């Protein structure tokens, strides 16, 4: 059973994410989708509103409004569950109350999904700096793979996949993730090493790392590339544009070591600025 979690805020981009998840049933014969909507509490909330303790809203009208909103969202989620029901997968709908990031994280800890599918419209400039997004936080912190959807996306049409890394270690877990992606998407994979002025290596060294990674794990239908750019983020996005990629894949890690590109900030920047879907996943260093 493959379990996919889809956060839902009733936006069009969230609907695209849900549709993407349902279409993965063409790949997985046993698919379970959990749809979650979080009713966010006001900033001054202290205790939950679902019974017990002190009500976080001192104003009675606000209390009534919040409770009515929760009931409305439950009805709307029930309607979504009915609308998207299918014999090809099992769909459940949840409504939680609290902080969006925290509630999604709690569901991940509880249900341990295999994949998190989220919509992301992307931001830039001051909006990106001040607001940020729940999607970026999940890319940075989620223990499961995260795929961000930027628009209507059919997984069967993702035929060119860019996987960007420096390939300086032969990581077993990383190779397993990529092989799993190859099973999900019947696509050509481009393994690309981004060369930058601040992290320059010779083309010979970069190619040796790429070849060693491909041969050690017996990858097929893979094309290796070395791409020069001013930064890792720019290089990934530029290369994806140059080849007309349908999907970008990146590994993320909280520290240096396994791959140079495994810093969370680069993955978040790529997710935020990419016009195409981005698949990110954490890895734990396990040398072959």
pLDDT in tens, 11-59: 888 999 999 999 999 888 889 999 999 998 765 544 444 444 445 545 6
Statement: residue 186 has pLDDT above 70? yes
Extract the tokens encoding 272: 């935020």
Query: 14 is written with which tokens?
Result: 């969230």
What is the distance in angstroms between the CA of the first residue and the CA of the last residue of the chain?
A: 28
- Gap between the Cα atoms of 279 and 116, Å rounded: 10
Region 260-264 average pLDDT: 45
Using CB atoms within 10 Å of the CB of residue 206, give its burial: 0 to 12 exposed, 13 to 18 middle, 19+ buried. Answer: buried
Can you spell out the DSSP letters for 231-258? SHHHHHHHHHHHHT-SEEEEEE-SSSSS
| pLDDT for the residue numbered 169 | 72
What interhelical angle do 100-111 and 134-141 show, nearest 10? 40
Contact criterion met (CB below 8 Å) for 95 and 39: yes
Helix, strand, or coil (residue 201): coil
| 71-82 confidence digits (pLDDT tens) | 999 999 999 999
The per-residue pLDDT for 253 is 63
> Per the structure block, which two tokens stand in for 191?
């393994």
| CA gap 174, 144 in Å, rounded | 13
Is residue 184 scored above 50 in pLDDT? yes
Measured between alpha carbons, how far is 204 from 226 in angstroms, rounded to an integer? 10
Better-predicted residue by pLDDT, 25 or 170: 25
Among 10-14, 29-33, 167-171, 249-253, the least confident range? 167-171
pTM of the model: 0.83
pLDDT in tens, 82-96: 999 999 999 999 999
Alpha carbon 73 to chain centroid, angstroms: 24
Instruction: Identify the structural domains of the chain with CATH numbers, from first to last.
Output: 2-149 (3.40.50.620), 158-282 (3.40.50.620)
Confidence at residue 219, expressed as pLDDT on a 0 to 100 scale: 92
Asked if 140 and 264 touch (Cβ cutoff 8 Å), the reply is: yes
| Confidence tier at 257 by pLDDT (50, 70, 90) | very low
- pLDDT at 127 exceeding the cut of 80: no
Classify burial at 178, counting beta carbons within 10 Å of its beta carbon; exposed 0-12, middle 13-18, buried 19 or more.
Answer: buried
- Tell me the H-state helices in the chain: 12-23, 60-83, 100-111, 125-131, 134-141, 172-184, 203-216, 232-243, 264-273
Q: Measured in whole angstroms, how far is the alpha carbon of residue 179 from the centre of its chain?
A: 17
Most confident of 141-150, 238-247, 253-262: 238-247
Could you give the 3-state DSSP secondary structure of residue 207? helix
What span, in angstroms and rounded, lies between the C-alpha atoms of 183 and 236? 23
> Which of 25-29, 137-141, 278-282, 284-288 has the least mean pLDDT?
284-288
Q: What is the reported pLDDT for 44?
A: 54
């Amino acid at each position: 059973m493959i379990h996919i979690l889809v956060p839902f805020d009733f936006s069009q981009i969230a609907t695209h994410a849900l549709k993407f998840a349902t279409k993965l049933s063409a790949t997985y014969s046993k698919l379970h989708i959990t749809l979650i909507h979080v009713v966010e509490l006001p900033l001054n909330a202290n205790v939950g509103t679902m019974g017990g303790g002190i009500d976080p809203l001192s104003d009675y009208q606000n209390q009534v409004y919040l409770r009515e909103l929760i009931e409305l969202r439950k009805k709307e989620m029930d309607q979504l569950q009915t609308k998207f029901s299918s014999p090809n997968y099992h769909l459940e709908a949840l409504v939680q109350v609290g902080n969006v990031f925290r509630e999604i994280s709690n569901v991940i800890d509880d249900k341990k999904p295999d994949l998190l599918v989220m919509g992301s419209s992307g931001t830039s400039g001051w909006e990106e700096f001040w607001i940020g997004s729940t999607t970026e936080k999940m890319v940075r912190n989620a223990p499961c793979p995260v795929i961000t959807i930027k628009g209507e996306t059919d997984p069967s049409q993702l035929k060119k996949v860019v996987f960007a890394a420096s390939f300086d270690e032969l990581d077993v877990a990383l190779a397993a993730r990529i092989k799993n992606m190859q099973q999900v998407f019947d696509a050509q994979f481009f393994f690309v090493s981004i060369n930058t002025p601040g992290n320059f290596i010779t083309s010979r060294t970069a190619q040796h790392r790429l070849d060693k990674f491909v041969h050690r794990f017996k990858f097929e239908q893979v094309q290796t590339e070395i791409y020069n750019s001013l930064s890792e983020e720019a290089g990934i996005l530029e290369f994806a544009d140059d080849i007309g990629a349908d999907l970008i894949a990146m590994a993320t890690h909280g520290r240096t070591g396994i791959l140079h590109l495994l810093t969370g900030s680069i993955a978040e920047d790529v997710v935020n600025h990419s016009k195409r879907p981005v698949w990110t996943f954490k890895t734990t260093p396990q040398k072959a």
